[in-house]
Amino acid sequence: MAPAPIEIDHLTKRFGDVVAVDDASFQIEEGEIFGFLGPNGAGKSTTIRCLLDLIRPTSGSCRVLGLDSRKDAVEIRRHLGFLPSDLAMYPNLTGRQTLEFLAHLRGGVDWAWVDELSERLDADLSRRVAEYSSGNRQKVGIIQAFMNRPRVAVLDEPITGLDPLVQLEFHTMLREHAAAGNTVFLSSHTLSEVERVTDRVAFIRRGRLVAVESMDELRDKAVRRLRLEFAAPVPAADFLAVPGVHEASADGLVVTVQYEGSMAPLLRAATDREVLSVESGSLDLDEMFLEFYRDEVGEDVLAEEASEEERAAGRGSR
């Protein structure tokens, strides 16, 4: 069997006392779009930099298409497209000159394909980099990542700065690329992006992988919400005993219930009274992840992380 296109094996990276990545292991399969999610400073870019041999792991290893990230870095580059989170470009070159410069380093670029990419992303390659808006710079970054039709694309926060229409087109491109048997690994802060386009997702926090799940599994686990309006006030407590119900709250004539599994017992309990309206919806997955955070480490982890980041920024530790 062919090796998985991306394999991260017990990867650890320390910067002094900071453990940026702590014993992370996962694999990404051929044809898969895989999302890497986590808050600021979680260790996403560090993992990606180790994968690309831009920095050396403290321990553990990474493989791309079965090749060792460190020993076979040159061979890997031939099959790889990479969008860094901080792509440096020469301000005086135009978008096209930038791509020509990068193509010269890499080889194997089909310019008709580059034109197609830039048309689809609505990128104007005739302007100088210095004149680009941040979204337009990002488009040049995406085009350079895909211009050699890479078997493996590694994209660090690709949709940063892209407007919603361009995001949609970009996600369609990713799906086509994966459907052709290629592999995509992308990082993001927002589950809503990852939800739209990825097959599986790894969630990282403070260097540790806290979950690796398929989007389908995540959706099944999502707690659902039902909003019931009654002709007369009903105590929320009446619903707490119903199987599958996690939470219930009443506000005037409206009872809002969070539950998992089948809706049937809840509806049976509701129709004992006169129901005026019923509205059903899933909990947003982002909200679910916040729930997941709280379960893991207590209520204040996000606030705590934010203030740690601020302290670190104040010390100028980067």
Determine if 315 is a binding residue for ligand ATP (CB under 6 A).
no
Determine if 47 is a binding residue for Mg ion (CB under 5 A).
no
C-beta closer to ligand ATP: residue 46 or 118: 46
Helix (H, G, I), strand (E, B) or coil at 250: strand
CA distance 241 to 231: 21
Determine if 15 is a binding residue for ligand ATP (CB under 6 A).
yes
Question: From residue 77 to residue 116, what is the string marking binding to Mg ion with x (rule CB under 5 A)?
Answer: --------x-------------------------------
**Choice from 5, 24, 32, 41 touching ligand ATP (CB under 6 A):** 41
- Report the candidate in 143, 123, 142 with the shortest Cα–Cα distance to residue 132: 123
**Minimum CB distance to Mg ion, residue 45 (Å):** 3
Q: How many CB atoms lie within 10 A of CB 265?
A: 16
CA distance 219 to 314: 39
Q: Are 224 and 263 in contact (CB under 8 A)?
A: yes
**Choice from 25, 40, 262, 307 touching ligand ATP (CB under 6 A):** 40
In the list ligand ATP, Mg ion, none, the entry touching 20 (Cβ below 5 to 8 angstroms by class) is ligand ATP
Could you say which residues in the range 131-160 bind ligand ATP, by CB under 6 A?
none
Applying CB under 6 A, the site for ligand ATP has a residue count of 14
Determine if 45 is a binding residue for Mg ion (CB under 5 A).
yes
Q: Please report, for residues 22, 61, 77, 151, the alpha-carbon distance to residue 14 in angstroms, rounded to integers and kept in the order given.
A: 8, 14, 25, 30
Question: From residue 228 to residue 267, what is the string marking binding to ligand ATP with x (rule CB under 6 A)?
Answer: ----------------------------------------
Q: Which residue has the tokens 């910067």?
A: 15
CA distance 173 to 81: 14
CA distance 82 to 291: 33
**Choice from 45, 118, 138, 183 touching ligand ATP (CB under 6 A):** 45
Question: From residue 67 to residue 106, what is the string marking binding to ligand ATP with x (rule CB under 6 A)?
Answer: ------------------x---------------------
Answer left, alpha or beta for residue 181, where phi above 0 means left and psi between -120 and 50 means alpha: left
CA distance 144 to 140: 6
Determine if 194 is a binding residue for ligand ATP (CB under 6 A).
no
Q: Which residue has the tokens 């104007």?
A: 124
**Minimum CB distance to ligand ATP, residue 227 (Å):** 34
C-beta closer to ligand ATP: residue 85 or 167: 85
**Choice from 33, 46, 76, 95 touching ligand ATP (CB under 6 A):** 46
Residues 6+ apart with CB under 8 A from 180: none
CA atoms within 13 A on the CB side of 164: 1
Q: Among all residues, whose Cβ is closest to Mg ion?
A: 45
**Choice from 4, 8, 11, 20 touching ligand ATP (CB under 6 A):** 20
Chain positions contacting Mg ion, by CB under 5 A: 44-45, 85
